[in-house]
Amino acid sequence: MNYVIIGNSAAAVGAIEAIREVDTESSLIVISAEPESAYSRALISYELAGWLPQGANLELRSSSFYKEKNVQPMLGRRAIGLDTTTKVVVLDDGEAVPYDRLLLATGGSPQKTGVPGEEKLGVFGFRTYGDLIAIHQAVKNARQAVVLGGGCIGLQAASGLHHHKVETTIAIASDHPLSQIADAECGDFFQALFEKNGIAVKTGLQPVEFTGADSVEGVRFYDGTSVPAQIVITGKGVAPNVELAQGTLIRVDRGILVNDHMATDEAGIYAAGDVAVTWDRVACQSTINAVWPGAYQQGRVAGFNMIGVQRRYDGSMRLNAAEFFGVPFISMGIVKPKGEGYETHSRMLKEKGLYWKLVFQGNLLVGAVLMGKVEGAGVLSNLMRKRVDVSTIKDDLIAGRSDFARVLPLVKVQSEAFGETEYRELIQ
């Protein structure tokens, strides 16, 4: 049996580990466009912000990982075609790699802005180790930077540039930072925090041009204003890398559609991670929830099913976690509910830098935002994920009492498989 994985990140590592738990002998090839061994994308922002010790390793696994797992890595090689009739993956140098079972773990890439001048030197995404190295190089000579986008990635990129003493402006199309995952109250707090720390935040602004000759010299906006910049980072969302599915039976609806075995509609082909559309068990809809633990878990499920061990993926949940200038922030589930049937409770203690918001749908907790104090996030995420009936502790939750001692027995009673570990990595 030939197992082939396209991608070499969270989902791929999950699949490799699952496959090798059962089958240590069959051929297992990992193809990745990036030349590096598997590394943590989340640590890119930590590294740029100077939070890691100098020379820190971003690798996900030890340098002997591929050898130990009997994997043939084909790194720095891009897959450009997929022939599902002859069952081969075609690489950019024309080499054809045959497969019996294939996993598409191709993740996502920064969304193109469509703004003229995007190809200029000095315009970066904030996604890969390659981006990190290029930005490190660029900050040596840059005085000013513009970050487009006020989501977690944009704010992290801005914090990183600021750490390198580059005068940074965040330009946001909406009227406050974190607008997709937090209310204005919370977003405004972060805006003031960034401004207090010397990072300009401009809201309601759409770029129309990246100016300059070969290298970017600034960003011009719809309102006629311009901001000089020798670095521009585009942090306006991620587009799933679905190109290989084109011309096959694999269904794509923004991302690749899979069943709960992570199998696509094409026999023998699976998908996992940021490229895959999964069932959001809190929002009760199919979507892409692009988080590391979810990608790893989906990869494991795909890996087991690829070798014939039946496993089901029990669904994803939206989760964003970050820390800005020492203030932690977590947003989970449905935090800006639309339509009837939701009950929301929120509280801001500005002077203490504390904010929380809970969203209920009947007796279910379906959303939470925590800022400043996030210790209760593990408990809340489990209540959401396990769809625990919280009627007996709702008042406690609303009063901000979500300690383990009160909640754990309830979760244990109501849930067959209480698993606290899944989001720990994010929350700690």
Ligand X SMILES: Cc1cc2nc3c(=O)[nH]c(=O)nc-3n(C[C@H](O)[C@H](O)[C@H](O)COP(=O)(O)OP(=O)(O)OC[C@H]3O[C@@H](n4cnc5c(N)ncnc54)[C@H](O)[C@@H]3O)c2cc1C
Residues near ligand X (CB under 6 A) are: 6-12, 31-34, 41-42, 44-45, 78-79, 105-108, 126-127, 153, 156, 241, 244, 273-274, 290-293, 295, 321, 426
Judged by beta carbon, residue 42 or residue 121, the one nearer ligand X is 42
By beta-carbon proximity to ligand X, the closer residue of 34 and 389 is 34
Nearest distance from residue 49's CB to ligand X, in Å? Answer: 10
User: Are 289 and 277 a contacting pair, CB within 8 Å?
Assistant: no
Nearer to ligand X, 292 or 356 (CB): 292
Q: Which residue type does 393 have?
A: I
The two three-digit tokens of residue 176, written as one number: 């406050």
Minimum CB–partner distance for residue 422 and ligand X (Å): 11
- What's the min distance (Å) between Cβ of 235 and ligand X? 9
Phi, psi (5° rounding) for residue 149? 115, 135
273 or 367: CB nearest ligand X: 273
> If we measure between CA atoms, which residue out of 155, 154, 147, 203 comes closest to residue 175?
203
Determine the distance from the C-alpha atom of residue 27 to the mean position of all C-alpha atoms in its chain, rounded to a whole number.
30
CA quadruple 305, 310, 311, 312: dihedral sign: positive
Residue 142, token pair as written in the block: 């840059």
Tokens of 78: 């891009």
Nearer to ligand X, 80 or 410 (CB): 80
Q: Which of 132, 134, 131, 157 is nearest to 146 (CA)?
A: 157
Min dist. Cβ of residue 253 to ligand X (A): 17
Distance in Å, CB of 214 to ligand X, minimum: 27
Residue among 199 and 348 whose Cβ is closer to ligand X? 199
Output 49 or 390, the one with its CB closest to ligand X.
49
Instruction: Render 222-281 in DSSP notation, one character per residue.
Output: TTS-EEE-SEEEE-S-EEE--GGGTTSS--EESEEE--TTSB-SSTTEEE-GGGEEEEET
Residue with token string 């698993």: 419
CB 378 within 8 A of CB 420: yes
Cβ 341 to ligand X, closest distance in Å? 29
Q: Pick between residue 152 and residue 307 the one whose CB is nearest to ligand X.
A: 152
**Closest CB to ligand X among residues 8, 144:** 8
DSSP state, residue 50? T
User: Rounded to whole angstroms, how far apart are CA atoms 235 and 170?
Assistant: 10
Question: Would you say 252 and 236 are in contact if contact means Cβ atoms under 8 Å apart?
Answer: no
Rounded to an integer, what distance in angstroms lies between the CA atom of residue 301 and that of residue 273? Answer: 11
Residue type, 399: A
Residues found in the chain: 428
Q: Which is nearer to ligand X, 106 or 230 (CB)?
A: 106
Say how far apart CA 373 and CA 366 lie, in whole Å. Answer: 19
132, two tokens:
């990190």
